[in-house]
Amino acid sequence: MLRRYDLFARDYEIYNPVNPKAVDWYLKHVSDPVLELAFGTGRLMMALAKAGFHVDGIDLSEAMHQIAEKNISTLSSAEKERIRRHKMDMTNFKFDAQFGTVILADNSICELKTPEMQKACLKSVWNSLRPSGNFLITIRYHKPNEFGPEPKETRWTEPFVDPHTGNKVRRKVRTWLSEDLKIRRGAIIYEMTDKDNLTEIQSCPFETPHLAPDEYKKLFAEAGFRTKIFADYEEKPFNEDCQMICFICEKI
């Protein structure tokens, strides 16, 4: 997915607009200072800084860093001073200070593709948290029968104009599950049309773990966390009709 973020980071905010309920949920649960893993375009870091929190953020994508830098430049001087960005791998990071809260937002946990990557990330998170600090994770929920081994494909999105190239861009997503139903595979397919009406197609494949909430809870417990699971940002009991799963993991 890093290739997609570097090639098409500029569409991230179009297809993933800020959810005010998500921001409010994080503000409700964070303790200063805060570390955000895979910070993307920096929007959550900015909201936290505006609320007075000190935030470190790590991300590997250079394109995301560039967009985040531009976004953060719109903040006041005091708010900008509360944010520090680092180009680091979330499976292996270390800071001198410990944090009150670590955040992994908006499905970014799915970038941890293997059990080894998941365990390495959780170890780094645990070591980076103060005693009883919390790890906040949000992930989109897919019902057990939503995908299967046969590919499913979305419709093309409405086109947008790429501000860098002037090309019209639209995309669709093809998704399927591995035979054992444990891995979600697919591709994000981009169609780019230039001013001369010449069209180019690029496909960015992806592969992510397909875990049930209880499997995540077991993973977090083995890493030294006590976990609460909620449906959506209203913190309703988990149910099959929810859109998001919110995990609050306390270091023990």
Distance CA 52, CA 78 (A): 9
pLDDT of residue 3: 60
The fold adopted by the segment(s) 2-142+212-251 is Rossmann fold (3.40.50)
| 247 strand-pairing partners | 137, 229
pTM for this entry: 0.90
Residue 8 has pLDDT above 70, yes or no: no
pLDDT of residue 240: 86
% of the chain at pLDDT higher than 70 = 96
Residue 6 has pLDDT above 70, yes or no: no
Q: Which helix (H) or strand (E) holds 130?
A: strand 129-140
pLDDT of residue 190: 92
3-class DSSP state of 192:
strand
The single-letter DSSP state of residue 111 is G
Tens digit of pLDDT for each residue in 109-140?
A: 999 999 999 999 999 999 999 999 999 999 99
pLDDT of residue 34: 98
Residue 106 has pLDDT above 90, yes or no: no
Distance CA 217, CA 219 (A): 5
Tens digit of pLDDT for each residue in 160-194?
A: 898 778 899 999 999 999 988 889 999 999 999 99
Distance CA 177, CA 156 (A): 21
SS3 content of the chain, % helix, strand, coil (to 5): 30, 35, 40
pLDDT of residue 5: 67
pLDDT of residue 24: 96
Listing DSSP states for 164-180 in one string gives: TT--EEEEEEEEEE-TT
- Ranges of beta strands (E only) in 141-252 are 152-153, 160-161, 168-177, 183-193, 199-209, 225-231, 244-251
Edge-to-edge strands of the sheet including 99-104?
83-86, 55-58, 34-37, 99-104, 129-140, 244-251, 225-231
pLDDT of residue 129: 98
Contact present, 135 and 125 (Cβ < 8 Å)? yes
